[in-house]
Amino acid sequence: MDHKKGFRTYFGLTFLIGFGFFTMGLMDPLYDTYIPIFLKRYISSNTLIGSVMTLDNILQLFLIPLVSIWSDRTRTKLGRRIPFIIVMLPLSAILFSVIPSMAAISLASLIIIIFLFNIFKTSVRGPVVALMPDTIPGEYRSEANGVINTMGGFGLIIGTLVLARFMKINESLPFVTAGVFVLVATLILFVFVKERKPEDTEEEKQPSIIASLKMIFQSGDSSVIRILFSLFFWFMAYEGAKPFLGLYLVDVMKVSPGNAALAQGIAGIASVLLAIPSGYLAHKMGRKSFIRMSLVLLALILLLVPTTGFIARTLGLPAGSSLVLFLILMFFYGSVWIGVVVNSFPMLWQMATYGNMGIYTGLYYTFSQGAAISAPPITGAIIDLAGYPGIFIFGSICMMAAWLIMRGVKKGEAHHVDETQG
């Protein structure tokens, strides 16, 4: 069967599952853009702001793997992922809605609400992500991941280019509106997504957590470990810049706070346009080759970002051209970055079974959140010492480190099934 026709069978289900990613795409960019701005009202040090921004990532480092594994072993009439989703997502929506109100009270109340919000949002991420590979065959997961990341991109666009504009009216309005969207998305998931039940053979083969980890790290093949360390470095680049893009636009590009989410919004548009094509293209040329090509392009784009002012002056372009050039680069960055995101998770899932899908999902987040914890304080310190251009140079170096490590990956393609896991 032609793989495109085969995936069409699963497109509708994948689209519905994508509403879980829609909620993440909606909340994450608003959080990443405006929490540093809220913190800046109380804290002057960028290093300290970067450190505070890692509080949620520390929670994610532990909670996502634990809850993912917990959901692997959950058996209810609703399935093993949906029970977590219908409890944790609504609570996340409510807490997210009151963040600006708490930020207006004091630094302590802001940090407390950030902590509580991230407890629930972090706990639900693993089950939301694992829902797709539970239901979509491994051959089509790049395409499926393209669809659900497109949904996440729509959430990002709405959050950054629509809801962020509401900041001019009232700081709470974008957060409250996003909370309502999340509640609606949760209802859609609950009503329309039915988890498949495992076959008896899948239940019998389900290994223990320790046995699964031993199979992963003592298999004699380094592919899983290489993918995990590669994604650590490319997330060091991504997470290092992300918390400071809003401040970069405000401090360097001199835009208003209401436009501080422009960079993420432009990248979100690019990801919506390219997510699905990235999945199909990687299926044809190979996930590993596609990711490595993308990493080189990302490194080049990041090196160009600090030169937009110089280019505008050299070419004699009118005022504001530097911002336009920066946003063009952010569009290309989003176009290429989504290809890495779409295809890296399926490479790991291709080596997993029904019984340990959550463990692989958890490992992905252990390494990605390890980077998310490490990167913001480092890039915050780089800004304090050398200015904003340093974070883009740092990101370029990290992308090339990931490119080198990925060279030794031998598994994870769409046609491959890891027999050690079966």
Full DSSP string of 326-371:
HHHHHHHHHHHHHHHHHHHHHHHHTT--GGGHHHHHHHHHHHHHHH
At residue 219, the pLDDT reads 64
Average pLDDT estimate for 37-60: 82
If pLDDT is split at 50, 70 and 90, which confidence band does 302 have? very high
- Distance CA(314)–CA(142), nearest Å, equals 42
3-state helix/strand/coil string of 17-37: HHHHHHHHHHHHHHHHHHHHH
- Distance CA(123)–CA(362), nearest Å, equals 11
Give the 3-state secondary structure of residue 409: coil
At residue 220, the pLDDT reads 65
- Token pair belonging to 205: 């083969």
Tell whether the model's pLDDT for residue 203 goes beyond 60: no
Q: Residue 339 contacts by C-beta under 8 Å, 6 or more apart in sequence?
A: 274, 278, 281, 282, 290, 291, 294
- Distance CA(422)–CA(418), nearest Å, equals 7
Tell whether the model's pLDDT for residue 95 goes beyond 50: yes
- Distance CA(108)–CA(302), nearest Å, equals 35
At residue 107, the pLDDT reads 92
Task: Report the CATH number at residue 220.
Answer: 1.20.1250.20
pLDDT tens-digit readout, 408-419 = 888 888 765 544
* Angle CA 75–13–338, to nearest 5: 105
Which one is predicted more confidently, 61 or 132?
Answer: 132
- Token pair belonging to 128: 């939301």
- Distance CA(29)–CA(241), nearest Å, equals 13
Tell whether the model's pLDDT for residue 117 goes beyond 90: yes
In a domain, 165, yes or no: yes
In a domain, 210, yes or no: yes
In a domain, 415, yes or no: no
In a domain, 417, yes or no: no
Tell whether the model's pLDDT for residue 80 goes beyond 80: yes
Q: Which of 120-129, 131-140, 223-232, 252-261 has the lowest mean pLDDT?
A: 252-261
pTM: 0.76
Mean pLDDT, rounded, of the chain: 85
In a domain, 223, yes or no: yes
**b/e 100-119 (16+ beta carbons within 10 angstroms → b):** bebbeeeeeebbebbebbbb
Which one is predicted more confidently, 247 or 422?
Answer: 247
- Token pair belonging to 204: 């019998």
Q: Per the structure, how many domains does the chain have? A: 1
Percent of the chain with pLDDT over 90: 31
Most confident of 98-102, 119-123, 150-154: 98-102
Within 218-315, residue ranges assigned H as helices are 223-251, 262-285, 287-304, 308-314
Q: Which domain holds residue 108?
A: 3-406
pLDDT tens-digit readout, 218-250 = 666 788 889 999 999 999 999 998 878 888 888
What amino acid occupies position 308? T
Average pLDDT estimate for 131-136: 84
What sign results for the dihedral spanned by CA atoms 396, 387, 37, 252? negative
- Distance CA(239)–CA(58), nearest Å, equals 13
In a domain, 195, yes or no: yes
In a domain, 235, yes or no: yes
In a domain, 420, yes or no: no
If pLDDT is split at 50, 70 and 90, which confidence band does 351 have? confident
Average pLDDT estimate for 322-344: 91
